[in-house]
Structure 1
Amino acid sequence: MGAFLTLSTSAVVILLVICRGFCVDIIGGAEVAPHSRPFMALIQGKQGNVICGGALIKANWVLTAAHCNVEGAKVILGAHSQKAREREKQFFQIAKRISYQYYCPYSKENDIMLLQLQRRAKINKAVNVIALPTSDDDLKPGTICSVAGWGQTHNQPKTLSDTLREVNVTVISRQICNDNKHYKNQPVITDNMICAGAKNGGKDSCNGDSGGPLICKNMMRGITAFGKKNKCGTVDGPGIYTRLTKQYLHWIRKTIGGA
């Protein structure tokens, strides 16, 4: 996994340069029913390549990861297929991008960003907001969560999914994630992060899934952030997600206000 960017054939080199070893698609999951995740946002580059995912939290605001390079990108809501024409799709230019002020690309801390859309989305069955959590209580190891995206489905070949896919992942303790069999404190998995995967591997987010929501007990609790380069779904490289802590939730609500 890694800093979850685009993986079109022409973008593989770009991905390797930008991710610097840390990027996130869905490994071991399954295609969801079309438009059954109405909060999912697809962030697409000028060439139609998948850059990242995101979550609609207000009619004109999308929550995603700070490492996503959204320069010149557009946001698509109501998508199931990233390529097919779908009447449910709504297209938006990005009016403003606001990264958390203390985001650090080296430590991977504070990997969270807000995108203000140029206009408000039309809310319907295919496009709707996801509620933010009312509590930032830490998730216990063993908690089952789900993550969705249009990202890579295999380490080799590096092919993105055309349709939205989802997989269940299990929360793993930070102590285990930081040990010598996993991340070795490089980077340190902090209290601002959630580590989640599968005991025997095979279930994970991957390149292209960055910015998508981690949902636990029917509530968004995190944002897909990073993993190990070319090791999506491996035992030693479970996915890492930005945890929606009290400080982040306060920042989000203060930023989006009544806009």
Structure 2
Amino acid sequence: MKLFKHNLFVLLAISLTPAYHGVEIIGGRKVKAHSKPYMVSIQVSEDHKTYTHWCGGALISENWVLTAAHCKATMQAKWKSQVVLGAHSLSQDKKSKQTVPIIKWIDYGKFNLKVLKDDIILLKLESNVKINKYVNVLKLPKTMVTDVKPGTSCSVAGWGRTSACSENASDTLLEVKLKVIDRKTCNSKDYYNHKPEVTQDMICVGDSKGRRDSCQGDSGGPLICNKMYIGIVSYGEGCADPKNPGVYTLLTKKYLDWINKTIKAQVYNMTAEELY
């Protein structure tokens, strides 16, 4: 049974327990308050009154957030969703926080939970956020991302639990340092064994000693390597397992082109296909 990083529900006849819902940074540390103003808490509500953290994400423009497609795929249709920005503590920082409803989820159109390809989605916000010292955009790569050298140091941030045994989420933003693992190694028999296949549009990042990891709900959060926005937290089996590291959607040219076309098309109230 594959354990993914964000839900407690049965979907497409696959048991996802105990993964997906909640955020978990293992072996991480607290982030300096408001040092990552692009971080987004995607929150959901079943009763349309009380919202809880569901996924991470990155603000890429004044009214667009980039996250993982499985965050939407594992939600129930009746739920409402919103984003919270400018938060270091999810329960405090009231003056710095901005809360904006999500009005549209637009995925790449090819996401498949069984094979986990194209785990990327755009969220259109109801209104523009106010850019300030607490809330700001994370720039997408200017040049094409083809791959990242194995051994490269990267970081992931998120809110939530600090151990696999804990049921309580961290109230403050945490960060963990990880390293890129060779794709061939990640697909090898001792690792994922091509189940699922780690493709050229994905990247493995973890810790060889299993001391640190992103897990269960960091889903959708940005992967930062060499000070660049490189990828999106997608999936992994277990937490802090050195032979089952986190797998991230790599922001390759096809995804960057899609992001730019989709946002441009929405300005003209068209689909990306109609625009060209």
2:112 corresponds to which residue? 104
User: Do residues 209 (structure 1) and 218 (structure 2) align?
Assistant: yes
Q: Could you tell which deviates more after superposition, 246-255 or 180-189?
A: 180-189
Q: Could you tell which deviates more after superposition, 106-115 or 179-188?
A: 179-188
Tell me the CA shift for residue 120 of structure 1.
Answer: 0.3
2:260 corresponds to which residue? 253
One-letter identity of the residue aligned with 2:121: M
Q: Distance in 1 between matches of 2:205 and 2:228?
A: 16
- Indicate how the Cα distance of structure 1 residues 236 and 158 shifts in structure 2: closer, same or farther if over 3 A, else same: farther
Contact 2:66 2:121 in 1 (8 A): yes
Tell me the CA shift for residue 16 of structure 1.
Answer: 4.9
Tell me the CA shift for residue 151 of structure 1.
Answer: 3.1
TM-score (norm: length of structure 2): 0.85
Tell me the CA shift for residue 182 of structure 1.
Answer: 1.4
2:52 corresponds to which residue? 49
TM-score (norm: length of structure 1): 0.91
Q: Could you say which structure has the higher strand fraction?
A: 2
2:271 corresponds to which residue? none
Query: Which ranges of structure 1 fall in alignment gaps of 5 or more residues?
Result: 6-13
For 1:167-217, what per-residue CA distance to the aligned partner results, in whole angstroms no more than 9, with x for missing partners? 111000111111222112111111110100011111110112100000011
One-letter identity of the residue aligned with 1:35: H
Q: Could you tell which deviates more after superposition, 163-172 or 78-87?
A: 78-87
Aligned partner (choices 149, 161, 171) of residue 152 of structure 1: 161
For 1:199-238, what per-residue CA distance to the aligned partner results, in whole angstroms no more than 9, with x for missing partners? 111111011210000001111000000111xx21111211
Aligned residues: 249
Residues 32-43 of structure 1 mapped to structure 2, 5 A cutoff: 32-43=31-42
Percent of paired sites with the same residue: 47
Instruction: Please give the secondary structure, in 2, of the residue aligned with 1:79.
Output: coil
Q: Distance in 2 between matches of 1:17 and 1:132?
A: 33
2:196 corresponds to which residue? 187
Aligned partner (choices 167, 171, 184) of residue 175 of structure 1: 184
User: Do residues 130 (structure 1) and 138 (structure 2) align?
Assistant: yes
Instruction: Please give the secondary structure, in 2, of the residue aligned with 1:115.
Output: strand
- Indicate how the Cα distance of structure 1 residues 35 and 2 shifts in structure 2: closer, same or farther if over 3 A, else same: farther
1:27 corresponds to which residue? 26
Aligned partner (choices 91, 95, 100) of residue 87 of structure 1: 95
- Indicate how the Cα distance of structure 1 residues 152 and 181 shifts in structure 2: closer, same or farther if over 3 A, else same: farther
1:8 corresponds to which residue? none
Tell me the CA shift for residue 99 of structure 1.
Answer: 0.8
For 1:144-163, what per-residue CA distance to the aligned partner results, in whole angstroms no more than 9, with x for missing partners? 11000013321112332111
Larger Rg: 2
User: Do residues 60 (structure 1) and 39 (structure 2) align?
Assistant: no
Contact 1:174 1:195 in 2 (8 A): yes
Tell me the CA shift for residue 3 of structure 1.
Answer: 3.6
2:10 corresponds to which residue? 17
2:270 corresponds to which residue? none
Q: Distance in 2 between matches of 1:201 and 1:191?
A: 24
Instruction: Please give the secondary structure, in 2, of the residue aligned with 1:253.
Output: helix
Aligned partner (choices 227, 236, 243) of residue 218 of structure 1: 227
One-letter identity of the residue aligned with 2:51: G
1:9 corresponds to which residue? none
Higher relative contact order (CA 8 A, sep 6+): 1
1:4 corresponds to which residue? 5
1:120 corresponds to which residue? 128
Q: Could you tell which deviates more after superposition, 79-88 or 199-208?
A: 79-88
Instruction: Please give the secondary structure, in 2, of the residue aligned with 1:67.
Output: helix
Tell me the CA shift for residue 2 of structure 1.
Answer: 4.6
For 1:112-152, what per-residue CA distance to the aligned partner results, in whole angstroms no more than 9, with x for missing partners? 00000000000000100011002213101001110000133
Q: Distance in 2 between matches of 1:151 and 1:202?
A: 17
Stretches (4+) displaced over 6 A: none
Q: Could you tell which deviates more after superposition, 45-54 or 26-35?
A: 45-54
Q: Distance in 1 between matches of 2:241 and 2:234?
A: 16
